[in-house]
């Protein structure tokens, strides 16, 4: 159970053309939420969950996987736990399997094997 949940809603398309902007948007959200937790006197590592909501994501390439990996690394460093990924489209899961990354990330509601 998490006391605080950070929700990262992804765009409909994450590909080379917009991957940097998508990453920057989510990194800003993570920084702002961590700052709010510090201001409230709570440790950002305590019972804070981060969910990447990919339900809107329809068009992806390997850039989308790179954005997710980068965000997961930041979440693990900041909050000491993996980012939970929900609603991943089949094509992204296929890329993760082909890249041997399916077991590295925390996929929810998806068959990764």
Cβ distance 25 to 70 under 8 Å?
Answer: no
Question: How far apart (Å, rounded) are the C-alpha atoms in residues 95 and 101?
Answer: 8
One digit per residue, the tens of pLDDT, for the chain of length 113 reads: 557 899 999 999 999 999 999 999 999 999 999 898 888 877 655 678 999 999 999 999 999 999 999 999 999 999 899 999 999 999 999 999 999 999 999 999 765 54
What's residue 46's pLDDT?
64
What's residue 43's pLDDT?
63
**Residue 99 main-chain phi, psi, to 5 deg:** -90, 5
Q: What is the pTM of this model?
A: 0.90
């Amino acid at each position: 159970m998490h006391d605080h949940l950070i929700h990262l809603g992804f765009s409909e398309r994450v590909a080379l053309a917009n991957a940097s902007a998508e990453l920057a948007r989510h990194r800003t959200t993570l920084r702002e939420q961590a700052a709010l937790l510090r201001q409230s006197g709570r440790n950002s590592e305590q019972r804070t969950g981060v969910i990447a909501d990919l339900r809107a994501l329809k068009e992806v390439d390997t850039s989308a996987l790179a954005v997710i990996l980068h965000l997961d690394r930041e979440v693990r460093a900041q909050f000491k736990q993996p980012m939970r990924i929900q609603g991943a489209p089949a094509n992204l899961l296929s890329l993760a399997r082909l890249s041997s990354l399916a077991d590295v990330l925390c996929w929810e509601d998806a068959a990764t094997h």
